[in-house]
Amino acid sequence: MPFKESSPMEERIALLRDYDTGVFTVTELCARYGISRQTFYELRRRRDDGDKRWFEERSHAPKNCPHCTPAEIVEAVVAMRRRRVRRPFGPKKLLAQLVRERPEIEWPAQSTIGDILKRKNLIIPRERRRRPIAQGEMVAPALTPNDEWAIDFKGWFRTADGTRCDPLTITDTASRYLIEVRIVEPTCVGVRRAMERVFNDVGLPAAIRSDNGSPFGSSGAGGLSQLSVWWLKLGIEPRYIPPSSPQDNGRHERMHRTLKDETSKPPAATARQQQKRFDAFRHYYNEERPHEAIEQAPPAERWEPSRRIIPARLEEPWYDADHEVRRVRNTGEIKWCGERIFIGEALAGEAVGLAEHESGNTIVRFCHRDLGVIDRNRRFLRFAPPRARLRAAQEGPATRAEE
């Protein structure tokens, strides 16, 4: 065991000088100088063997390594790497190339080749994007109309004249009412315009369920996009399903299948005619078609417009006195403790609240949504959104196939 770094060479000399007096036992000396008995006996042995520099710290590195890669192998790896200057191979491809050219040699493993390239400064490590901190799952059953809407794009297709169609669909989760089917641009601006019309016509929901893709979500803090930031300011809770889990928006996906069968096999001649098909389907789906999940009633019998209306002016988020408010710059950064910290471009121009946590970190919030924490090293660790799942045990007949 090595001597404590806090003990200088003079203390080692004093240690054995005290031992030579015979006043102290080995146990007492070890406790007094903060070392182990093994270290004491090693120092005494080195002195008694006549080592004039016995009190100096010795290197613990092995004198030789039987597993060290031979120099000629290292040179061959480096030479192969340098042969390809414009498009250099990584360890995996280097190994394959070396084996192909000189199969008689027992080449080192891919990981060893990577270590060789690092030691020779032939690899520049990539800065990896930190994964967002998972927030767990929440059960989000919708029991009454407008508790939750579901939104998505049905897969795009082209009409007979070659025009691309991206149908945006919105349904009410509880009543299965098809609120909108509209051909729009699959961008934040296009979706927002369509939703403004819907909100003006039928009011606001309490929450909106969607997947994580653009324009509804993002890989940024809290999973928010510019669109979902707008929802939060309207008092609408964005709910994101787990990635690659369309079953958690299954009732909406099931509606898409019916929509596709009824309106786009084959597509209409023009986008205008295709939109007329969507409008006719929406009336049929809501007013005439019995729905198994709601006891064979048409959705129009279970749905009613929301009492919440879209405000004429959006208010700034409110934060209590425990928060310090910062405005997010156009670059997605805030100024905090004299440093610029990147939060997210989706929040550009918005006011966020920062509150100290008992752990010593600082929580960053937008409205009531926790976006992440700023740790003591001034790094922003972003949160993933809490994932919204539908539980069969709580949904009952709502999870059955909608035929």
Provide block-wise average pLDDT over 10 residues at a time, the chain (403 residues).
54 86 87 88 88 77 72 89 77 89 90 88 72 64 89 92 95 94 95 96 94 90 94 94 74 88 92 96 93 89 94 91 93 92 94 90 93 91 79 40 39
pLDDT of residue 66: 66
Angle (CA) 262 264 270, round 5°: 130
d(CA 310, CA 314): 9
Helix axes 9-21, 26-33, angle to 10 degrees: 160
DSSP state for residue 286 in the 8-state scheme: I
- Please identify which residue in the block is written with the tokens 């090293």: 377
Is the Cβ–Cβ distance between 146 and 205 less than 8 Å? yes
The pLDDT value given to residue 400: 38
Q: At 324, which helix (H) or strand (E)?
A: strand 324-327
- Token pair belonging to 85: 């200057």
Total-model pTM: 0.66
In the block, residue with structure tokens 């080592």: 51
Q: Do 370 and 354 meet the contact criterion of CB atoms below 8 Å apart?
A: no
Per-residue b/e over 160-189, b at no fewer than 16 CB within 10 Å? Answer: eeebebbbbbbbbbbbbbbbbbbbbeeebe
- In this structure, what is the dihedral angle of CA atoms 238, 242, 245, 251, given to the nearest 10 degrees? -30
pLDDT value at residue 128: 65
Secondary structure (3-state) at 362:
strand
Residue 153's DSSP bridge partners are 168
**Residue entry with tokens 């930190």:** 130
Token code pair at residue 42 = 């090693």
3-state secondary structure of 73: helix
pLDDT of residue 129: 65
Instruction: Report the alpha-carbon angle 368-370-144, nearest 5.
Output: 50
User: What is each CA distance from 79 to 76, 88, 116, 189, 264, in whole angstroms?
Assistant: 5, 11, 12, 53, 59
Burial of 210 (0-12, 13-18, 19+ CB in 10 A): buried
How much is the pLDDT for 394?
Answer: 37
70 neighbors 38 (Cβ within 8 angstroms):
no
Q: Estimate to the nearest angstrom the gap between the alpha carbon of 230 and the chain centroid.
A: 21
Say if residue 88 is preceded by a cis peptide, omega within 30 of 0: no
- What residue has token string 């995996």? 92
The single-letter DSSP state of residue 177 is -
Q: Are 385 and 368 in contact (CB under 8 A)?
A: no
The gap from C-alpha 173 to its chain's centroid, in whole angstroms, comes to 27
